[in-house]
Amino acid sequence: MTQVRADPHATATARFAVLHNAAEALLDTLGERFMVERRESKELLGPTDALVRTVRLIPRTPAAGPLAVAFTDFPGLMVRLGRWWAEALPACGCDDCGEDPDELADVLRTQVGALVEGGLWERVRRGVGGSWFESRLIGVGLSARREGPLTARDAREARRSGFAAPVQWAPWPRRF
């Protein structure tokens, strides 16, 4: 995960604090509705970054994709769905970009909703220049695709973990 960094052109960053509130509420709701294990820790987002609070929700079935939310000091969020889907909220945070915190909270809820309903598909593919990950996220009002390079080590680990063939994460198990 890459951390959202303070930008000298970001003067009203406090407006993004609502993202922390939205994420906390969403994590609590998911913990109540689904059979998941909640793990909290302090983690580095990168080799030169400070420790940040990270909350992981791990479904009680290995066929369902995990969720990780890191709460940055910006304030912002780094969200990881499954193995490779990563989202920085806000992406920039500068005044010129004008990202709306309420819209970003909706992005968070929409993407997590797609994961929970089994709408995340991931795989590793080999190419002439190396290995790449490919991810697709499909949900209500959402159809997105991402890909990116993998190190040789990450590609081997992914193939050992069953990602040589496409993996569609299962829906999260609901509490009864």
Q: What is the pLDDT of residues 7-27, one digit of tens each?
A: 444 556 788 999 999 999 999
Looking at residue 87, its pLDDT comes to 95
Q: What number of other Cβ atoms are within 10 A of residue 12's Cβ?
A: 8
Q: What predicted TM-score, i.e. pTM, was given to this entire model?
A: 0.89
Q: Is 62 a residue whose pLDDT tops 80? A: yes
Question: How many angstroms separate the CA atoms of 174 and 176, rounded?
Answer: 6
Q: Is 1 a residue whose pLDDT tops 60? A: no
Q: Is 3 a residue whose pLDDT tops 60? A: no
Question: Which helix or strand (DSSP H or E) is residue 28 part of?
Answer: helix 17-33
Question: Which helix or strand (DSSP H or E) is residue 152 part of?
Answer: helix 152-160
3-state secondary structure of 22: helix
Instruction: Please compute the mean of the pLDDT values over residues 119-142 and round it to a whole number.
Output: 93
Q: Which pLDDT tens digit goes with each residue over 66-97? A: 999 999 988 899 999 999 999 999 998 777 88
Question: How many angstroms separate the CA atoms of 19 and 22, rounded?
Answer: 5
User: By mean pLDDT, which of 65-74, 101-110, 151-160 is the weakest?
Assistant: 151-160
Q: Is 40 a residue whose pLDDT tops 60? A: yes
Question: Residue length, the chain?
Answer: 176
